[in-house]
Amino acid sequence: MPEISTLVVFCAATLALLIVPGPAVLYIVTRSVAQGTAAGLISVVGVHVGSVVHVAAAALGISALLATSATAFTVVKYAGVAYLVWLGVRKLMRRGGGEQAVELPVHSKRRLFWEGVVVNVLNPKTAVFFLAFLPQFADPSAGPIAPQILVFGLLWILLGMASDGTYAMLAAAVAGRVRGSARVRRRLDVGSGVVYLGLAAWLTTEKA
């Protein structure tokens, strides 16, 4: 099992990544702006039920990869660093759209939940991200990889629910200000890019 120090570092890195808005966060914010805090929190639960699928897939896939080739496992780790760099550069270079507001439809609680699940399960970027990020902290010398990935995944989900829940409440509170604002979206993109590049640089240093 992972050491306490590794878990602490993982939690810190995870929180840094979770504050970066992705498709799931944008969905949660959209529903919060349209329907309020309760709708946003229901969406959060749905999104992280979807996260369970990715954690299980990552645990099985990474374990199988390590069993096949330790070298391939190392390649996946550094490919993950490259992926973070790519995400960071893309965020920094992204241009904002127009300022016009968009009318958002109202959905039932059941639909909010299941749309949240689908948003995360069917998002290929989420799957790639789990496969790229979690191996950075897995240590073959600490025991079987699958249980380590499951522990990291559980921590990710718990921290993700806290982070996304905060997004939901804040978005509902300032709905009028954030709706359709290109300036806000651009600031989020710049902040996201800096976080991605910073983590990529840090992970490269840690693994060197």
Tell me how crowded residue 23 is: count the other CB atoms within 10 A of its CB.
14
- State yes or no: pLDDT of 67 exceeds 60: no
Measured CA to CA, the distance from residue 192 to residue 188 in angstroms comes to 6
User: Does residue 80 have a pLDDT over 60?
Assistant: yes
Q: For residue 70, name the pLDDT band (cuts at 50, 70, 90).
A: low
17: nearest Cα among 91, 77, 69:
91
The pLDDT tens digits for 100-120 are: 444 456 778 888 899 888 878
Average the pLDDT over 69-97 and give the result: 69
User: What contacts 175, CB < 8 A, 6 or more positions away?
Assistant: 32, 33
Range of the structural domain that residue 46 is part of: 4-207
Q: Is the pTM higher than 0.95?
A: no
- Mean pLDDT, the chain, rounded, equals 76
- Using CA atoms, how far apart are residues 2 and 147, in angstroms rounded to an integer? 9
Compute the average pLDDT of residues 93-106.
Answer: 56
Distance, CA of 167 to chain centre: 13
The residues, ordered by sequence, that sit 6+ positions from 26 with a Cβ below 8 Å of its Cβ are: none
Lookup result for tokens 């939901």: 168
Domain count, the chain: 1
Rounded average pLDDT over 66-85: 66
